[in-house]
Amino acid sequence: MGDRPTELAEALRTLRAQQGVELDVVLVGNGWEPTGLPDWVRTVHLPENVGIPEGRNVGAREVRGELLYFYDDDASLPTPDVLSRLARVILGDPAVAVAQPRGEDPTGKTAPRRWVPRFNVEDGGKAGPATWFWEAVFMIRRAAFEQVGGWPGHFFYGHEGIDLAWRLVDAGWTIQYVPSVVVNHPATSPARHQVFYRMNARNRVWVARRNLPAPLVPVYLASWTGVTLARVHDKAALGTWFKGFGEGLRSDPGPRRPMSWRTVARLARAGRPPVI
């Protein structure tokens, strides 16, 4: 959005330093016109902020290459082999769609649990197959991304990664968590965004309505309602959350393509049944 010029400069500097890969870099100006950037960075100007997932879709359409690396503007790559190592994970196995690195705050703050696709996040979590991924910094095979239709652009912010991950798993692809590869990102709270509680609730409902077999939709939504009531004690925030929940029930979530029961079983065997 053009409001982090210092962080963006560091993101681009460490991206340019990557070795063993050929880069085609596209920066999407989501509601702003990028200027003053290095000549090796191509830009797209979106006059209005279309939201995170649709901004990423725009970038994916503009950029070349068989692998896509989505990269927040406040992230950075601490070593010059981050991208090449993630690329080897994907290209080394034709079933792998996604490789997610481990996120670390560069100042030493504890990494949020949401960065680690594991119930047990001790020591950064166990490497291996996962059922979801952290959207801020990951690599994906373009063929897999396009096969499942890319990001749900209308989500604007929140849970778009769960939606994409479930569609990938349902299509037979594998997601790999690679904690031996580290990417830096500030450990911030998603609640800092004004739209957080509304989008969190609305998009939870949309994820369920779009992707789950009908009997599991109420189970999933009841589970997350309980989690929210246990976590959030601010009455105003809860009020906003429930308004968003109602919006998710009333509004159009986009195309419904429920996953197969085989996928439900696969997710459950992997330790993350799609109701938690």
Rounded mean pLDDT of 221-226? 96
Q: Is 90 exceeded by the pLDDT of residue 51?
A: yes
C-alpha to C-alpha distance for 12 and 37, rounded to whole angstroms: 9
The confidence score (pLDDT) of residue 191 equals 62
Q: What's the CATH fold of domain 5-188?
A: Spore Coat Polysaccharide Biosynthesis Protein SpsA; Chain A (3.90.550)
User: Which of the four pLDDT bands, split at 50, 70 and 90, describes residue 12?
Assistant: very high
Give the residue extent of every domain in the chain: 5-188, 191-262
C-alpha to C-alpha distance for 220 and 264, rounded to whole angstroms: 12
Burial of 133 (0-12, 13-18, 19+ CB in 10 A): buried
Average pLDDT score, the chain: 95
The confidence score (pLDDT) of residue 2 equals 86
Token reading at 143: 């063929």
Instruction: List the beta bridge partners of residue 226.
Output: none
The confidence score (pLDDT) of residue 194 equals 59
The confidence score (pLDDT) of residue 217 equals 98
pLDDT tens per residue across span 55-93:
999 999 999 999 999 999 999 999 999 999 999 999 999
User: Which of the four pLDDT bands, split at 50, 70 and 90, describes residue 276?
Assistant: confident
How many Cβ atoms are within 10 Å of 160's Cβ, its own excluded?
26
Q: Is 80 exceeded by the pLDDT of residue 7?
A: yes
The confidence score (pLDDT) of residue 61 equals 97
* Among 53, 72, 61, 71, residue whose Cα is nearest residue 153: 53
pLDDT tens per residue across span 173-197:
999 999 999 999 999 876 655 588 9
The confidence score (pLDDT) of residue 188 equals 81
Q: What share of the chain in percent tops pLDDT 70? A: 98
pLDDT tens per residue across span 102-114:
999 999 999 999 9
